[in-house]
Amino acid sequence: MIETEKPEHAIRQLATLLACARRIVAFTGAGISTESGIPDFRSPGGVWDKNQPIQYADFLADVEARRETWRRGMQTYPVVAAASPNAAHIALVELARRGQLTAVVTQNIDGLHLRAGHAPETVIELHGNAHGVRCLGCEMHAPRTAVHERVLAGESEPACIACGGILKPTTISFGEPMPRGPLAAAERAVRAADLMVVVGSSLVVYPAAGLPLLAAQLGTPVVIVNQTPTPLDERATLLVRGKAAELLPPAVELAAAIR
């Protein structure tokens, strides 16, 4: 593992790894989104510190749990909807434009990678996307904004307009089985990668956090760009401490010159 306290050294080392790679997979967590103004729900003082997460089983069984889900969304969703991609998101798009980055695997639900310009087929959202809702009965999908407006207008538990069924944001709740498709696609991308770049993830949420570990086990170089320690630090090829929006853009720019 290489770790340096000097940003200029870290940027050059990261740029060298990026320049040599042909099949990069980025793995992103809340840290890249906080730089766009989206709070980290897990941090002390965050949403889940003040309110216990609503379990999927409770959402299904209890009308009050569903109403509370939409009440919380009144505060949290506008923040997500108003956020814009930051320089780190844009730097990853540049790597994709060069043909080097093959996939973005993200734990985030904000959709900022898509807004930044990645092709939808290259973005794997392991925990879903906050910008949609689906009916648990007929599987009808609708934009979150339309349902949010209904809640603002006074509907405490908006129902499906097609069948009257339960509507749920298209995010993965606590206790809800993760769809097998995205996780399998992410694993395939990791197995084909020649470099994995972890950006802004604490690497404590499984099964998602198992993907960088898989890369390390396969012998693929793993770079971790994060402000705080992670359980995988000792397995990393390069450990870069700091903000992604300050470190990734110059590293991506320098990589182009090295190539």
Q: What is the residue type of 208?
A: A
Q: Which DSSP helix (H) or strand (E) runs through 178?
A: none
Are 169 and 69 in contact, with CB atoms under 8 Å apart? yes
DSSP states along 51-119: SPPPBHHHHHH-HHHHHHHHHHHHHHHHHHHH----HHHHHHHHHHHTT-EEEEEE---S-HHHHHT--
Are 25 and 195 in contact, with CB atoms under 8 Å apart? yes
- Provide the total of helices (H) and of strands (E) in the chain, helices listed first: 11, 10
Phi, psi of 47 (to 5 degrees): -55, -45
Closest CA to 242 of 72, 21, 10, 77: 10
Cα–Cα dist 208/252, whole Å? 25
Catalytic residue among 127, 131, 141, 148: 127
Q: Which DSSP helix (H) or strand (E) runs through 208?
A: none
Over the range 167-187, which residues count as b (16 or more CB within 10 Å of their CB) and which as e?
bbbbbbbeebeeeeebbebbb
Q: Between the CA atoms of 200, 206, 208 and 212, what dihedral angle is there, to the nearest 10 degrees?
A: 70
Euclidean distance between the first and the last CA atom of the chain, given in angstroms as a whole number: 23
Active site residue 131: no
| Residues marked as catalytic | 127
